[in-house]
Amino acid sequence: MLIDRRKLFTFCCSLIIPSISFGSLIRTPWQGEGPFYPDTIPKDTDNDLVKNGENAVEAGGKILILNGILVDTDSHPVNKASIEIWQTDKNGVYLHSGSFSRDNMDKQFQGFGRTKTDRNGRFFFRTIVPTEYPGRTPHIHMKFWKEGKNILTTQLYIHDHPRNKKDFLFKRMSLLEQRINSMKISPKTDKNATEFQTFVKIVV
């Protein structure tokens, strides 16, 4: 009887390591929300953090177009998921009463935003390139909800930022996890060095 070696290998592996799903994606690592989740949610919570309410003046800092997609480990899009992000303004100040340097807060920056994934799992935020503050490398906090359940809380970092190596939370992750949670940021156009873009794939 002829035996297909590939099928035999797959069958044997399923007996030895049944928990492994060949071809599945690696989940985005969890990271704590930290102490600066807004203690007062602003009136304006849309996905454009650069404009705060009806104020015509935009926030300072380099604009970042954050595009992303939310999928499960089998690459299926997760639609109608709620997403929250929060981060410091250009001066390293959070929308939180206990934040550093509150007197330097950029009041034009929304500091917190929400959106939902579309039917293809895609989402979008207009924010600023994250800045550092005492003790932390630049990062963006993200929280994902589905049907009222928190399915992921994590932080996104700037790829190859020099402060990453000294950041206590970044150093706790493996090299693979660091790569997964890092954003590669590039200018949106060759002529516009004040507006940047990135794309992230979040796996839950």
Assign 192 a pLDDT band (cuts: 50, 70, 90): low
HSE, side-chain direction, 13 A CA sphere, residue 125: 32
DSSP 77: B
Assign 188 a pLDDT band (cuts: 50, 70, 90): confident
pTM over 0.75: yes
| pLDDT tens-digit readout, 36-51 | 999 999 999 999 999 9
Structural domains of the chain, ranges and CATH numbers in brackets = 24-203 (2.60.130.10)
What is the C-alpha separation between 175 and 94, in angstroms, rounded?
Answer: 28
Given a contact cutoff of 8 angstroms between Cβ atoms, the answer to whether 66 and 86 are in contact is no
| pLDDT tens-digit readout, 37-96 | 999 999 999 999 999 987 779 999 999 999 999 999 999 999 999 999 999 999 999 999
